[in-house]
């Protein structure tokens, strides 16, 4: 049976490889603690669950979703209000907002909507691996822009060769950033708008961690800088601010032309999101801003515990201010894989190797704070004992 060539270019998804490794160790009786995956274990707010149950009882909602590929108007209106309230960004629910099955879906359909075979798509290295996979599935070519600590984790657009710029048609950016935790500034976003305009590049700013911020960091949308709507869209999601990763609900906002292309792809692919989930999403956006500070209290506590532990074992580091990931430099003389392997073999703690996010992730590991307190405490205790 033939398998598509484009799939051959995509390495196995990071978390599938991790899952297999963990399953094998667990089958051998090892109590593995997995700090490799960013998937909140804390529950979705009760009001959201109640609304889902209520709406699921109504047979009207058992039919194809209202406004299918666009997302229902009531959901799009609530997204527009949320963007105005939290980021000061004005959006028209008709044309400037789409419902998504999570922001990951948006990344993929953005590519199918804007690139042609052989085009180049710019992405950062390290970066979220799904961007690269979507670029390959769109039969385009990724160009990796290094994202380095010494450059405050901003790509240097001036370093991109002219031959690449000529072929570049789209670009993924992502702040607060997975895996580094770095946050953007308005100045950087303005520079990105200017760059995209000069080279006619469609921008997809992926912002699912917009609310996971520490140390007084300001919540920022790409669309809050002048001109952003002319060059790009932003993806966001209910996964992280409301502990709703399993619900698969997100949104794309911004440039009408790009959104119309994305919508055309969706119209012919997925037929939209279950109405009851969209109603529950409205509830989250409308009522559950109050969940965010409560959730952040938990992450602050867990983050402090990891900082304290790494300090105690002689590996102090200064964390970035966004996401529920910590991007931690490995000990001198070790590389990402060495340190990841040592943590697994000596402490049965799984972390993600920095190189899983690209070659410029070398020298780092990523720890996720989305595990129960008790398990994180146990993991940190094991690490303190063996290092």
Residues in the site for ligand PLP, rule: CB under 6 A?
Answer: 38, 102-104, 128, 174, 178, 206, 208, 237, 239, 245, 250
CB of 186 to ligand PLP, least distance (A): 20
| Bridge-based pairing state of the strands 349-350 and 33-34 | parallel
CB of 333 to ligand PLP, least distance (A): 30
C-beta closer to ligand PLP: residue 67 or 105: 105
- Residue 330 is given by DSSP the state P
CA nearest neighbour of 41 among 220, 266, 229, 299? 299
Nearest residue to ligand PLP, using CB? 102
Q: At what angle do helices 46-56 and 275-287 cross, to 10 degrees?
A: 150
CB of 128 to ligand PLP, least distance (A): 4
CB of 107 to ligand PLP, least distance (A): 6
CB of 29 to ligand PLP, least distance (A): 30
C-beta closer to ligand PLP: residue 281 or 383: 281
CA nearest neighbour of 284 among 53, 48, 44, 74? 48
| Bridge-based pairing state of the strands 202-206 and 168-173 | parallel
C-beta closer to ligand PLP: residue 239 or 243: 239
Coil, strand or helix at 8: helix
C-beta closer to ligand PLP: residue 106 or 329: 106
Three-state SS letters, 114-140: HCCCCCEEEEEECCCHHHHHHHHHCCC
CB of 15 to ligand PLP, least distance (A): 9
Q: Alpha-carbon distance 171 to 275, whole Å?
A: 32
| Bridge-based pairing state of the strands 352-353 and 168-173 | unpaired
CB of 312 to ligand PLP, least distance (A): 29
C-beta closer to ligand PLP: residue 202 or 347: 202
| Bridge-based pairing state of the strands 364-368 and 325-329 | antiparallel
Q: Alpha-carbon distance 267 to 261, whole Å?
A: 10
CB of 125 to ligand PLP, least distance (A): 14
C-beta closer to ligand PLP: residue 244 or 383: 244
C-beta closer to ligand PLP: residue 347 or 357: 357
CB of 51 to ligand PLP, least distance (A): 19
CA nearest neighbour of 196 among 160, 215, 170? 170
C-beta closer to ligand PLP: residue 204 or 231: 204
**Token pair of 250 as six digits:** 């997100």
Q: Alpha-carbon distance 224 to 230, whole Å?
A: 12
Coil, strand or helix at 201: coil
Q: Alpha-carbon distance 115 to 4, whole Å?
A: 19
Q: At what angle do helices 73-87 and 275-287 cross, to 10 degrees?
A: 20
C-beta closer to ligand PLP: residue 34 or 245: 245
């Amino acid at each position: 049976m033939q398998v598509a060539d484009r799939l051959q270019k995509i390495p196995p998804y990071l978390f599938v490889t991790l899952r297999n490794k963990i399953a094998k160790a667990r089958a051998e009786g090892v109590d593995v603690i997995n700090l490799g995956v960013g998937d909140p274990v804390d529950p979705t707010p009760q009001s959201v669950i109640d609304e889902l149950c209520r709406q699921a009882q109504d047979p009207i909602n058992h039919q194809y979703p209202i406004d299918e590929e666009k997302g229902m108007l009531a959901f799009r209106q609530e997204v527009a209000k949320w963007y105005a309230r939290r980021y000061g960004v004005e959006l028209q629910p008709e044309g400037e907002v789409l419902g998504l099955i999570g922001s990951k879906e948006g990344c993929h359909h953005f590519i199918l909507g804007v690139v042609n075979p052989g085009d180049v798509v710019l992405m950062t290295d390290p970066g979220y691996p799904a961007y690269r996979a979507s670029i390959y599935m769109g039969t385009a070519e990724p160009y990796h822009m290094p994202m380095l600590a010494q450059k405050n984790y901003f790509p240097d657009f001036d370093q991109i060769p002219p031959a690449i710029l000529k072929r570049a048609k789209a670009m993924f950016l992502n702040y607060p950033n997975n895996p580094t935790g770095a946050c953007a500034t308005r100045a950087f976003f303005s520079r990105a708008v200017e760059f995209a305009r000069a080279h006619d590049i469609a921008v997809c700013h992926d912002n699912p961690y917009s609310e996971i911020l520490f140390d007084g960091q300001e919540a920022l949308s790409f669309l809050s800088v002048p001109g952003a709507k002319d060059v790009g869209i932003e993806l966001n999601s209910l996964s992280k601010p409301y502990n709703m990763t399993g619900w698969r609900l997100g949104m794309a906002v911004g440039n009408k032309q790009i959104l119309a292309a994305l919508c055309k792809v969706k119209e012919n692919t997925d037929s939209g999101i279950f109405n009851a989930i969209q109603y529950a999403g409205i509830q989250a956006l409308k009522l559950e801003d109050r969940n965010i500070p409560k959730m952040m209290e938990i992450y602050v506590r867990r983050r402090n515990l990891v900082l304290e532990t790494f300090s105690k074992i002689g590996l102090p580091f200064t964390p970035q201010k966004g996401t529920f990931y910590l991007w931690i430099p490995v000990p001198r003389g070790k590389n990402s894989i060495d340190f990841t392997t040592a943590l697994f073999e000596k402490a049965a703690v799984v972390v993600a190797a920095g190189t899983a996010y690209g070659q410029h992730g070398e020298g780092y590991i990523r720890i996720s704070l989305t595990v129960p307190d008790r398990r994180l405490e146990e993991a940190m205790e094991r690490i303190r004992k063996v290092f």
